[in-house]
Structure 1
């Protein structure tokens, strides 16, 4: 079973909410839609689920065009971030509700409800009503309903957003196991990059109603195809600056320069956006971190066994005055930073990404 989008678009009046999008979503792993609020994640899910009309394109399930089928006929399940359960029904009845709609035999309904309740640890609560449950238990009830239905596709639209931290962690760890081996296409929308990395599978990065990159989540993290993708998967924020490439030399301002190697050395001369993750900018030189930077420390943070320093990177004079960049260093151990003081930092040039003026990956 696969779910395919072919050139789908969505418009509301003169406004395009989803720009032309094609995706092949397959079972066996999570398919994550990752983007900020307003990027189009929910709109795309509604198109796939048949809740909103498309302006153009097709939705195919197992090769069958379901674009004109109602939501009910597509055999899908949808779990929202809000705990959508029927308040007048017991937990058992909530889980069983979609099975009753299709006229399933009572004995099979009982078996499916029992299996889903066992998986979600809801067995002691089957006779309670939603208002008697905690938020986490209500969301478990919604997930159990999706599992019991044995849908061809399951859409999870930020399902953990309204849970407390502990419950989010617990359910996030369980979700891949809950849907493993069920043959359904699972689509999971989130605004949290860390959540996408923890769930694994494949990720579609979304921005302004468009998918900017799609592929294995870990691969997108290691090899972002554009500057937006590099920024998404970085916490603290990825460091960026303009570099000028001349021959095999890269220059940031008039104070920092180094010799390029590999694909970066083969780039055409000109201006590029450099990006490097904070853990490749260290407070002391190492075998790889060899390019010296100096910055004025602005903020320091100690988290467990890691230290971070936000610093103002001076890049030297320009026609309009001194050039600056706000950068972050993240390193193991505890480091004696002093707010307001100058400190040397060292960058690993082999960990730098280079992006063209239009944001596309250059090296």
Structure 2
């Protein structure tokens, strides 16, 4: 299915929920809608599904205008944050319902395959009310996958699951999406989830579409400060700087030798450093940023160190488990080649040729 939004906008009373935008989804691929709560992800999905009508613009499916066509007349499956299941049917029957409607072959086998991938095979004979919220969400997800609709809309489907299960299911979903023919739209607030799912990412903020493209490209080349803020976890370190002859000088700190394009001008700059680009051991060509440890937190297999420096507050993401004494002196190091530079209007002026890992 080729889904295209032409000048889609949504107003509710005096409030603008979606600013006019154009978006052509890649057929058979995953498109991630990435943005904070209230960014407009759900509003956009409801228009895609036919649950809402836009205030302006058109929705095209395979070139046909379907704006205003009700959801029951479209072949769409949707999973919300708040799961919806048939309470009087067993888990197996819930998952099988779209397969039975279209008289698909090997229904039992398909139900068991999906249940196994979503770790609910032991609950097939139970009713939804006998399951936890996370288990019920997985039933709703299995039913949506079973439908194999040309358009599948998933609105933060893993948000109610625990961390370990979320990690496992992301991998399963990535392979399930890759093996299917559906055009998948997946909404999330988590940059890490967008990176794991791959495909394409549309970054939304306060109802505006800021950037759309291959996920890796949007991550490594955020078009603006707003995109960089939305697509960084932990948040990108943003530091005030001034253009100088050899590149930029951090206010209160060292100069970063960079070949700025002439279009960058000589206005005030903002330098962005991803947390993963900062290190505690220097390499040739690095600049040093001395400071003191304010907080060190261990999350999974990484340690996040919050450091107070003369150039500003920095967060470094260090691989492995490290221990730091609060208030202790520390020096962070970074290669100028890993710096992002944004011009005075917040637009990207320079990005690393190969940005540091997430």
Q: Normalising TM by the smaller chain, what interval?
A: 0.7 to 0.9
Kindly indicate whether the alpha-carbon contact (under 8 Å) linking 1:246 and 1:270 is maintained by their aligned counterparts in 2: no
Total equivalences in the alignment: 347
Aligned equivalent of 2:279: 282
Task: Give the Å deviation of 1:192.
Answer: 1.0
Per the alignment, residue 299 of structure 1 pairs with: 295
Q: 1:239 — aligned with what?
A: 237
Deviation at 1:337, TM superposition (A): 4.1
Deviates more, 1:251-260 or 1:233-242: 251-260
Distance 2:322 2:105 in 1: 60
- Alpha-carbon distance in 2 for matches of 1:257, 1:306: 29
Q: Quote the offset at 1:159 in angstroms.
A: 0.7
- In our comparison, the structure showing a higher alpha carbon Rg is 1
The corresponding residue for 1:34 is 34
Q: 8 Å contact 2:152–2:185 — kept in the other structure?
A: yes
Secondary structure at the counterpart of residue 349 of structure 2: coil
Cα distance, 1:221 vs structure 2? 1.5
The CA deviation at 1:22 is: 1.1
Name the SS of the counterpart of 1:362 in structure 2. Answer: strand
Once structures 1 and 2 are overlaid, which stretch shifts more, 116-125 or 48-57?
116-125
* 1:180 match: secondary structure: helix
- In structure 2, the gaps of 5 or more residues are 351-358
Tell me, which stretches of 5 or more residues in structure 1 are unaligned?
A: 316-324
**Is residue 307 of structure 2 the alignment partner of residue 311 of structure 1?**
yes
Alignment deviations for residues 260-306 of structure 1 (CA, whole Å, 9 cap, x no partner): 23x45773222111101122222232024x21222122122355765
CA distance in 1, matches of 2:253, 2:63: 58
Distance in 1 (CA, whole Å) between partners of 2:316 and 2:330 is 11
CA contact (8 A) 2:190 2:233 kept: no
Superposition TM-score, scaled by structure 1 size: 0.87
Shift of 1:77: 0.5
For residues 39 and 84 of structure 2, the distance between their equivalents in structure 1, rounded to whole angstroms, comes to 23
Shift of 1:358: 2.5
Question: Following the alignment from structure 1 to structure 2, what is the Cα–Cα distance between the partners of residues 113 and 64?
Answer: 36
* Matched ranges for 1:180-329 at <5 A: 180-261=178-259, 263=260, 267-288=264-285, 290-302=286-298, 306-315=302-311, 325-329=312-316
Q: For 1:346 and 1:13, how far apart are their aligned partners in 2?
A: 51
Matches within 5 A, 1:103-182: 104=102, 108-109=103-104, 111-112=106-107, 114-121=109-116, 125-182=123-180
Local SS of the residue matching 1:329: strand
1:161-207 deviations in Å (ceiling 9; x for gaps)? 11122322222111122233432111001111111111111111110
- The 8 Å contact of residues 264 and 343 in structure 2, kept in 1 or not, is answered as no
Tell me which residue corresponds to 1:85.
85
Q: Single out whichever of 157-166 and 340-349 deviates more from structure 2.
A: 340-349
Question: Residues 13-32 of structure 1 correspond to what in structure 2 (within 5 A)?
Answer: 13-32=13-32
Aligned runs of 1:54-93 on 2, under 5 Å?
Answer: 54-93=54-93
Q: Matched residue of 2:315: which SS?
A: strand
Identify which range, 196-205 or 298-307, moves more after superposition: 298-307
The answer to whether 1:352 aligns with 2:350 is no
SS, match of residue 53 in structure 2: coil
| Cα distance between partner residues in 2 of 1:74 and 1:6 | 18
User: Aligned in 2, Cα 1:62/1:299: closer, same or farther, shift over 3 Å?
Assistant: same
- Equivalent pair of 2:291/2:308 in contact (CA under 8 Å): yes
1:112 CA drift (Å) = 4.1
TM-score between both structures, scaled by the size of structure 2: 0.88
| Residue pair 1:33, 1:206 contacting (<8 A) in 2 also | yes
